[in-house]
Amino acid sequence: MNNPYDSGKVSGKSKKLQLPLIVLTAIFTIIFIYVADRGLTFLLNIGNESIYTYNYSLGIFGLILVIPAVLLSLGIIKGLDKNGYLNPLLAFLEKAIPKMAKLLTKLFKITVKAVIFTVKGIALLVMLIVNSISPSSGSHGSRGYFPSGRAISEGSNNKQESKKEAQWQAKQKQKEADVAWKHAKDQAEYNPNTIHMDKRLYRANAKQREANAEAKKFRKL
């Protein structure tokens, strides 16, 4: 027959092992996900000739890495128990975990607030810089570019029409760029740490380059 006392000892030991198992599993899961994300990001950017880099994230699928993390944690705990290091580790965790949890919670809240504030500040600064140097701001006040009466009298009607068309194209492209920048700003305020943010920025920069090219054509006329 099984000894109830021995069964109780095994049950008590199993409960004690839950804490280090959870802690080690969480640590290794975070490490595995980080390494996987960095590795996939590196592979994704191989051959990327753009000035932008793309960050890859496993997202919720990264939870599958809990399985190898659990197995590795069990192996480590078994090795510690075999060599007599488990009890000191348990005593340390029982004292340290509550204090660390409070500290990490405070640090997490502070970090989130700081990141949100920084992202909003950067997004606003970028928008202000882009709007200040965009061709649209100069096109509204560049009355000197319109054909004068003297030019018309000299037979430059075709040139005048070309300039009007070029100016209209430049304004339209700049409007598209402004919309793209607005979408990028909205994405930055909502969630900047996604691949969608990179796509928004890439599109906004592409639209801005098109607008700058049209503005350059207009200025040359």
Token pair in block for residue 212 = 């700058």
| Of 69 and 142, the one with more pLDDT | 69
* pLDDT tens sequence across 60-71: 888 888 899 999
Confidence at residue 156, expressed as pLDDT on a 0 to 100 scale? 59
Looking up tokens 């198992």 gives 21
How much is the pTM? 0.36
Confidence at residue 32, expressed as pLDDT on a 0 to 100 scale? 92
CA dihedral (153, 154, 160, 162) in degrees, to 10, reads: 150
Token pair in block for residue 63 = 């939870």
Confidence at residue 179, expressed as pLDDT on a 0 to 100 scale? 87
Distant-in-sequence, close-in-space partners of 192: CB < 8 Å, separation ≥ 6? 119, 123
pLDDT at 20 over 80: no
Parse the chain into domains and list their residue ranges.
Answer: 1-84, 112-221
154-163 CB contacts, 8 Å cutoff, 24+ apart:
159/221, 162/221, 163/218, 163/221
* pLDDT tens sequence across 102-118: 776 777 788 788 888 88
